Chain A
């Protein structure tokens, strides 16, 4: 599934990053590479962007960008850190 489909409270591991150009590097720099666990922690009042917990930090990403991040959903509670 795509990262943007993740609902608040749900977690997933990154499978592939499809973005290209500058944003690809930026996303990798903040930790979006295959295997990283990402948790959706909420959505902004306008519905977009959404906030994700990545590598211990909370990062807001717009749906347009998170649609290009493919993830495998994790069961609730199966988080490596809680």
Chain B
């Protein structure tokens, strides 16, 4: 879900201005996806950047700070990448940072269990001329798989510091910091250089003097020669932008390049063949480096993982288990949230009474008391008591699934149906992130390589309910359907799962429709890493997702709810022509809302809830209270009484839930969509699709029900 306090960036900014005599050293953290890079980053910086056991968790560069003795470091956690030859947007971010931001050092985090593949990236980064420290992580997993590594020998062969870490143990990390320190103090050395096929080496030798002459030390000449020979157009544009001039437009370079290309062509090395030869040299270098360094003792012990996979992604149990798991998560959320919600409501409304007494004691004017206590405070109290408990349960549960490594399996299981909709299986991941927060889901879409498939995922993300909408749906389900049929929280969970499935179905439907109309195309190639199952760090998950993420989301909701509370109070109390603004507004919306099975107040609550979905129900309740006779709502029965008093029927409840599921995304999500797609047009479409769907669904349902009754 990727939503943490770091998104606000406050802490990062504050600390970068602490005055120190030492200059801040910039250290980049690179590595293959899913090697525990973010865990290393968090352990070093003490930050709570969200980590997950799946590729593409880090979708943007995250910054954090740490110190070692007198040194101050700014650590930059860049997205995981298999190589520097970018395929996707996030890999491009990683490549550009390493190549053009000139970090003082680059720590390449490697997976001890598949070092060879990781060394491919290490070699490419060394090639850029960066000062590299190799951090072999997941040593505990390697040990479990009976893999032993001779890291001293690897360090000797590579010519750069190699340290081993178990990112979950802090002890090993101080070794890494010391290695960074040593490497930064050490004089420049010449680390291992990948040797390419003879014709390529000749071309490099011919080009480097000229390139050194032209670009100086801004870029490593050998690296630049390789990239120019390779003809990677997007990268060459980046290089041109970085250098301030386009080397491929320099007459001397053009001539030299043409000469070398002719020579290479004579050896049969053009385009694809040239690139293949380069990759092969990188791979065989990595292989040679690992020879004798990595020792595997007989059988690989990942049979348990395979056995779990056979069940969780099996033909027979794959889909049912996914559904059951969803059901279980919702049941726990609903069941577990009941009591705490009640306690919170009791407590917070007790405080409201005390606040009222205080205002009376101070002889505060009635309007001030009403505006602050009945307006601002009451809406706040509702938002907190309705939202906090389900969030504090749902977030950790979801994070546990993420931590264990189940999420990529969901993408694996759902790739087939998404592929049928001409989309990418990774959309399943972004959809799941949407359950937490649609804005986070939209950002997460960067893990999808193809721009068309990414757009499909962005446009349909808000068709699954986010955490701000769950409480609305859960409370309506509980009030109108579970209570009346004497059901339990299991019934509620079943119904909620049905609602979610409707959202998932709509996601498939809209994706398919879009892929047949404005975003036509065939699914592009797809590779997805299924990481090993890892024991979740339950303590960390509980602390971080309960406190950090829940409080962050709550904080956002509360900061929106307070002014909204005031606004709605004003609207309910400022009269124009004898009627309040609220009544004017809802009367205006009422005819249209009735067609959708709602009423003017509900529709207005949705409109006023644009900044955050969490406040829709509180606003509706408040609006009813302002018009009606009831004064206080402390429990669900009173809520039901208010709704019924205002003419709600089960149909109203169903339509409200439907509209909550399908309506415009909140303002944060829309702004994020605008940022991610860079276009107002797509943003508008992302708002239009769910809104149209919701309005239509409500209208059709209402018309049908009214016809039948």
Contact = CB atoms under 8 A, between A and B. Distances in A.
B285 interface: no
B529 A57 contact: yes
Contact of B87 (A26, A51, A56, A81): A26
B419 A48 contact: yes
Interface string A59-73: 111101100000000
Interface in B90-144: 111, 113-114, 116-117, 120
Contacts, number: 131
Interface in B287-311: 296, 298-300, 305-306, 309-310
Contacts of A62: 415, 419, 525-526
Contacts of B111: 56-57
Interface stretch (B314-322, B464-472, B674-682): B314-322
B528 A25 contact: no
Contacts of B306: 41-42
Interface residues of A, number: 35
A19 B276 CA distance: 12
B412 interface: yes
A30 B318 CA distance: 26
Interface in A28-82: 28-31, 33, 41-49, 51, 55-62, 64-65, 81-82
A49 B412 contact: yes
A30 B527 contact: yes
Contacts of A26: 82, 87, 525, 527
Contacts of B526: 49, 60-62, 65
Contacts of A27: 527
B117 A42 contact: no
B702 interface: no
Nearest to B314: A45
A82 to B, nearest CB: 4
B310 A42 contact: yes
Contacts of B412: 44, 49, 51, 60
Given A56-B113, A56-B114, A57-B117, A25 B529 contact: no
Nearest to A60: B528
A59 B530 contact: yes
B279 interface: yes
Contacts of A28: 276, 279-280, 283
Nearest to A25: B85
A53 to B, nearest CB: 8
A45 B318 contact: yes
Which of B114, B276, B315, B530 has the most chain A CB within a 10 Å cutoff?
A: B530
Interface in B143-171: none
A51 B275 contact: no
A1 to B, nearest CB: 20
A31 B188 CA distance: 31
B424 to A, nearest CB: 10
Contact of A44 (B85, B415, B524, B531): B415
Interface in A14-31: 19-20, 22-31
A31 B316 CA distance: 31
B417 interface: yes
B579 to A, nearest CB: 58
Contacts of A64: 525
B333 interface: no
A44 to B, nearest CB: 5
B313 interface: yes
A16 to B, nearest CB: 11
A29 B83 contact: yes
Nearest to B319: A45
Given A26-B87, A29-B85, A57-B117, A49 B298 contact: no
A23 B528 CA distance: 12
A26 B55 CA distance: 14
**Most B C-beta atoms less than 10 A away, residue of A19, A22, A56:** A56
Contacts of B315: 43, 45, 47
A23 to B, nearest CB: 4
Contact of B525 (A23, A31, A46): A23
B272 interface: yes
A47 B540 CA distance: 36
Nearest to B115: A56
Given A20-B272, A25-B83, A45-B315, A59 B283 contact: no
Contacts of B114: 55-57
Contacts of A47: 315, 416
Interface string A2-14: 0000000000000
A82 B417 contact: no
Contacts of B390: none
A46 B87 contact: no
B110 to A, nearest CB: 11
11 contacts: A25-B87, A26-B525, A27-B527, A29-B279, A41-B309, A44-B313, A56-B111, A56-B116, A56-B300, A58-B532, A61-B527
Given A25-B87, A62-B525, 10 more contacts: A23-B524, A25-B85, A42-B313, A45-B314, A45-B416, A49-B415, A51-B530, A57-B117, A60-B526, A81-B299
